[in-house]
Structures are given as C-alpha cells and as structure tokens.
Copies of this chain bind each other. A is one copy, B any other.
Amino acid sequence: LGIGDDAAIIRQFDGRDTVITADLLVEGIDFRRAWMPPRLLGHKALAVSLSDIAAMGARPRWAMLSIGVPPDVWRSSFVDQFYEGFFALADYYGVVLIGGDVSRTPDRVVIDSIVLGEVAMGRAVLRTGARPGDHIFVTGTLGGSAAGLRLLEHGARLAEKATSQRASREIEELQLRHLQPLPRVEWGERLGHERLATAMIDLSDGLSSDLTHLCEESGVGASLDVSRIPVDPHVASKGVRRALDPLMLALHGGEDFELLFTIRPRDLRRLPRSVNRVPATYIGDVTGDAGRIILVEGTRRWTLKPGGFQHFDF
C-alpha cells in the first residue's frame, strides 16, 4: 500500500530480509543545475540508491523520495522532468514509488532517495566477508564518470542533438557516465542469489577508497594488478585524454557505480563472464596483510593510499 496515508505499508514474509538505503543529493554539492538536465537528475537520484541495493546482492523493490524544491523551480517543468527520469529507471527495474515527502526550500534543490530491496534470508552480501586468497573482480569499466565530471567542469555540455563526430560522441559518452550512471542491478542480484560474492561494495568514492573500505571491514589486504584494471575506453582514447591520466581516474575517480566484489577460487567456474552484456574483470587478490593495498605493475610495486600514491621500493 503506497502513497496517500501517513506511511506506506509493505508485507513481510518468512525467509526474506529487507535491505534499505538512503542517499542525499544536494544542489551545489552533489550536482549543479547548470550541468544536470532534470530528467537525468531523476535517473541519477534513483540510480545511486539502486547501486547500494545491488552491492548487497539484493533485488530493489520499493522507493521513497523526499524532495525539496525552491518556488521558482517548482513553477518550472523541473519536477515533471525529474519524475520522468526517475520513473523511467524505476519502471525498468519494476521498482514502485511508495511514499516520501515534498517540501519547499529557500533556494536549492535537495533530494533524499530511499530504496528498499529484498534478498533471501541471510544471503545479503556484506563488506566483511573477503578472505585471503579470494579473487577481486570489478564490473564494467572505471574512470569514465570522473573524466565526464572534469569535462563538465571545463565547460563541456550535453548537446541538444545527437552528433556524428566521433570525438564529440566520446565526450558525450563520458558526460553521461557521470550524469546518467547505470547501476549494476542484474549483477548484484545474480552475485547474491547464487552466493558467488564473499564481499561486495559499489564504487561511489572510487576504487582506491572503496577497496580500502572493503579491506578494513573484512580485516584483509589486497594486491591489484594495474595492467588488468578496466579503464573506460573513452578515457583511454586519444581524442579526449590530453590532461587526463586514465589510470589515476580509474583508481581514484568516484561515481562509476560499478560493483567491486571478491570470490573464492573454487567458485570462479560458476562466475558468468558478463551479465546483461556488462563484463566482470579480474583485477587482483585478497591478501592477509590487513589494511595494505599493493599495486603491482610488471616488476614494480606500490602501496596505495586512498586518493594518492605512496612510492615504495623493493
């Protein structure tokens, strides 16, 4: 039972767990209205929460939306377009909006996106389950969202019409990686349902930070093979790289919303190569050296610090 009463109602069933997440998006901090078409903001507000649910190995079912809007924005088509983007993604995954709150704000848009999902009892994938010897995988490609953000910061904007020029198309693709991220809902559900992942986290802060979180929660370390990190092909492309360092963006850039997970060696044969045409890539291994993340590049080894490097000689 949804919208229209003091609260929404969801029936419970033995053998299921509910997972729930909330993500606050504040104008001027998490997005800029000048860059962000309202339809894509509606998409992204839901996408970031779907990504959290996917990272638990759960299936998203219900959403709530608290939205604060200043009067001038309220009178525009902003809210309609926002909901259009929100519902397009919600409908695609069968997620039902069951409630929330609407408020005026003095001058900025603020959104709190709440998503509830379900998972078979005890099958939620936590950050705590990685063990030494597990392999580390990541879905999709990395660095695209951070590159898109850099391009937006330097004045790039989405064109009204599609372009046929290859360089322009690549620049648009990168902006969309930032403005319209695709949560890995199918991957998350599959990894949880088939008990494939021992630990999982979604890449919102960036590979270096989020792998650090996962290792801390599991009490383990990690060794990453730099040459295996799947850098976004547009980031690596000549047409757009210039001042961008693809590896730095892939390691430290946030908001790719890919899934980082660990898997036991004996379960590898059950791991699909791709789900919904999104591949998962082996990038390294879990170690017993708690708290330390080593980057291996050929014969060289670095110790990773989140957001930066520390040189390390052997």
* A contact set with B: CB distance below 8 Å: 1, 4-30, 51-53, 55-56, 58, 64, 66-68, 98-106, 108, 110, 112, 114, 116-119, 121, 124, 126-128, 200-202, 217
* Residues in B whose Cβ lies below 8 Å from that of A99: 20-22
Assuming the contacts A6-B201, A56-B7, asked whether A18 and B12 have C-beta atoms less than 8 A apart, the reply is yes
Assuming the contacts A20-B99, A21-B99, asked whether A26 and B114 have C-beta atoms less than 8 A apart, the reply is no
A56: shortest Cβ distance to chain B, in Å? 5
> Are the CB atoms of A9 and B18 closer together than 8 Å?
yes
> Are the CB atoms of B24 and A8 closer together than 8 Å?
no
A199: shortest Cβ distance to chain B, in Å? 10
> Are the CB atoms of A64 and B29 closer together than 8 Å?
no
* Residues in B whose Cβ lies below 8 Å from that of A52: 6-7
Nearest chain-B residue to A16 (Cβ)? B12
> Are the CB atoms of A101 and B112 closer together than 8 Å?
yes
Assuming the contacts A12-B18, A24-B67, asked whether A4 and B105 have C-beta atoms less than 8 A apart, the reply is no
Q: Which residue from B21, B30, B106, B201 sits with its C-beta under 8 Å from A28? A: B106
A15 CA / B127 CA spacing, docked (Å): 31
Q: Which of A1, A7, A17, A55 has the most CB of B within 10 A?
A: A7
* Residues in B whose Cβ lies below 8 Å from that of A23: 66, 101
Q: Which residue from B12, B55, B68, B112 sits with its C-beta under 8 Å from A7? A: B55
Assuming the contacts A20-B7, A21-B6, asked whether A66 and B127 have C-beta atoms less than 8 A apart, the reply is no
* Residues in B whose Cβ lies below 8 Å from that of A17: 9-12
Assuming the contacts A8-B20, A18-B9, A22-B100, asked whether A29 and B127 have C-beta atoms less than 8 A apart, the reply is no
Assuming the contacts A21-B6, A21-B99, A30-B103, asked whether A11 and B110 have C-beta atoms less than 8 A apart, the reply is no
> Are the CB atoms of A112 and B22 closer together than 8 Å?
yes
A103 CA / B118 CA spacing, docked (Å): 26
Show 25 residue pairs from A and B whose CB-CB distance is below 8 angstroms, ordered by the A residue: A4-B217, A5-B56, A6-B53, A6-B202, A7-B124, A10-B20, A11-B17, A11-B18, A11-B121, A12-B12, A12-B13, A20-B99, A22-B64, A22-B101, A24-B112, A26-B68, A26-B105, A26-B110, A27-B106, A29-B104, A64-B114, A68-B110, A101-B112, A105-B108, A112-B114
Nearest chain-B residue to A110 (Cβ)? B110
A64 CA / B114 CA spacing, docked (Å): 10
* Residues in B whose Cβ lies below 8 Å from that of A24: 66-68, 101-103, 110, 112
Assuming the contacts A30-B103, A66-B24, asked whether A117 and B18 have C-beta atoms less than 8 A apart, the reply is no
> Are the CB atoms of A7 and B58 closer together than 8 Å?
yes
Assuming the contacts A13-B14, A106-B108, asked whether A8 and B30 have C-beta atoms less than 8 A apart, the reply is no
* Residues in B whose Cβ lies below 8 Å from that of A121: 11-12
* Residues in B whose Cβ lies below 8 Å from that of A100: 22
Q: Which of A15, A112, A126 has the most CB of B within 10 A?
A: A112
> Are the CB atoms of B26 and A104 closer together than 8 Å?
yes
